[in-house]
């Protein structure tokens, strides 16, 4: 793949340093910071424009609980997060890391797909690009990988265009301009496979990590691809053991039918095609060393009602990191939440 003109990644806006404020006083300190007024406007815009986007496609929202017994990022091969386990009236359960499985269930009730915007919980500590609690915009639609990449790309462009239409001055003041959004909207997203990316970056060890039988790209690698091929880059067909068991695989059985949209800070959207048949789920569970008993209902659903679907999830705060050109996702919390800490309010 021939690189386009190099993308100059704009310097991020300086941190608000609100994390250095006494946590008990942070909620008062941010009242006078225009960033957070802008953040409220963007959160409202994402919720409203997401509903408009899916209503135009006759895709319905689901109201779902935040507890689950079937986490979508189980410990094992391909897991990049740890679950949040709680005791609920004596019953071990989890706070949802994602309700993607429920969206697959919902697709069997709606016909045209389903979506939600709801909280997600992760067991790892927050850092510059991860939150312990964040908002997830997720959807599942009938069809394969190509269809979901297309609709996810349309979705993020719909949101970006809405930002320029409804909040241009506020975003420009907080982000130092809106040229990065205009540049994204003016050019199609590039698309390349993991193998193509490996070749394009000459296997640079700072850009890739090799595990036992599978490889992953680092944040530095993602940023390098954005610089060379961006501003938006779809990175597809990762090693199948590097992604969760529910991602379908290609004809070789080695690469997953998945894709990540790299934008701004790195991965903003992750998407993939699902296994249609229960037999394929069972094979994937064994390959990822995940007990089938933990996902028996999911396997049974595929046995009872096979359906070819694909889905995606966008971290809302990751998207807003790009919109606002922030270097630290922890700035984009109206109310902070960190694992193992009590915060006010």
- Report the chain's mean pLDDT, rounded to a whole number: 93
Closest by Cα among 333, 311, 318 to 141: 311
Q: How far apart are CA 28 and CA 150, in angstroms?
A: 42
Q: What is the pLDDT at residue 180? A: 98
Closest by Cα among 6, 56, 80 to 258: 80
Q: What is the pLDDT at residue 78? A: 61
Residues 304, 277: contact at Cβ < 8 Å? no
Domains and CATH numbers, the chain: 18-332 (3.30.930.10)
pLDDT tens digit sequence for 20-51: 667 788 999 999 999 999 999 999 999 999 99
The mean pLDDT of 48-75, rounded to a whole number, is 94
Report whether pLDDT(128) > 50: yes
* Pairing state between β 233-236 and 190-193: parallel
Q: How far apart are CA 118 and CA 309, in angstroms?
A: 21
The mean pLDDT of 313-338, rounded to a whole number, is 97
pLDDT band at 343 (very low <50, low <70, confident <90, very high): confident
Report whether pLDDT(165) > 60: yes
Kind plus residue range of the DSSP H or E element containing 192: strand 190-193
Please state, as a whole number, how many other Cβ atoms lie within 10 Å of the Cβ of residue 197: 26
pLDDT tens digit sequence for 68-125: 999 998 866 666 678 999 999 999 999 999 999 999 999 999 999 999 999 999 999 9
Report whether pLDDT(66) > 80: yes
Residues 106, 114: contact at Cβ < 8 Å? yes
Beta-bridged to residue 315, according to DSSP, are: 136
Q: What is the pLDDT at residue 17? A: 46
Closest by Cα among 314, 276, 294, 281 to 108: 276
Instruction: Note every long-range contact of 206-213, with CB atoms under 8 Å and residues 24 or more positions apart, other chains counting.
Output: 211/241, 211/242, 213/239, 213/241
What are the two backbone dihedrals, phi and then psi, of residue 208, each rounded to the nearest 5 degrees? -135, 150
The mean pLDDT of 192-221, rounded to a whole number, is 96
Closest by Cα among 50, 29, 18 to 316: 50
Report whether pLDDT(134) > 90: yes
Kind plus residue range of the DSSP H or E element containing 93: strand 91-95
Kind plus residue range of the DSSP H or E element containing 86: strand 84-88
Please state, as a whole number, how many other Cβ atoms lie within 10 Å of the Cβ of residue 225: 24
Tokens matching residue 215: 């490889």
User: Is-above-0.85 flag for pTM?
Assistant: yes
pLDDT tens digit sequence for 225-261: 999 999 999 999 999 999 999 999 999 999 999 999 9
Report whether pLDDT(212) > 90: no
């Amino acid at each position: 793949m021939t690189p386009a003109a190099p993308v100059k990644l704009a310097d991020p806006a300086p941190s608000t340093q609100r994390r250095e404020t006494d946590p008990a006083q942070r909620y008062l300190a941010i009242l006078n910071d225009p960033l957070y007024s802008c953040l409220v406007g963007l959160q409202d815009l994402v919720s409203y424009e997401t509903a408009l986007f899916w209503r135009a496609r006759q895709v319905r929202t689901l109201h779902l609980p935040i507890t689950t017994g079937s986490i979508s990022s189980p410990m094992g091969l391909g897991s990049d997060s740890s679950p949040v386990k709680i005791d609920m009236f004596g019953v071990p359960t989890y706070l949802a890391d994602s309700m993607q499985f429920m969206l697959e269930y919902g697709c069997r009730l709606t016909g045209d797909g389903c979506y939600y915007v709801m909280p997600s919980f992760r067991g790892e500590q927050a850092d510059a690009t991860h939150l312990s609690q964040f908002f997830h915009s997720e959807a599942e639609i009938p069809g394969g990988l190509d269809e979901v990449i297309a609709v996810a790309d349309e979705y993020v462009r719909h949101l970006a265009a809405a930002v320029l239409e409804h909040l241009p001055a506020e975003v420009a003041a907080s982000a130092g301009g809106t040229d990065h959004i205009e540049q994204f909207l003016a050019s199609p997203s590039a698309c390349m496979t993991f193998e193509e990316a490996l070749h394009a970056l000459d296997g640079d060890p700072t850009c890739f990590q090799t595990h036992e039988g599978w490889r992953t790209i680092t944040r530095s690698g993602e940023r390098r691809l954005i610089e060379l091929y961006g501003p938006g880059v779809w990175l597809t067909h990762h090693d199948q053991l590097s992604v969760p068991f529910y991602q379908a695989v290609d004809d070789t059985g080695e690469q997953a039918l998945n894709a990540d949209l790299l934008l701004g800070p790195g991965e903003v959207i992750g998407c993939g095609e699902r296994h249609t048949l229960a037999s394929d789920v069972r094979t994937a569970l064994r390959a990822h060393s995940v007990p089938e008993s933990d996902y028996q209902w999911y396997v049974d659903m595929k046995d009872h009602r096979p359906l070819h679907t694909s889905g995606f999830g966008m971290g809302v705060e990751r998207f807003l990191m790009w919109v606002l050109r922030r270097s630290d996702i922890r700035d984009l919390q109206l109310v902070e939440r960190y694992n193992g800490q009590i915060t006010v309010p």
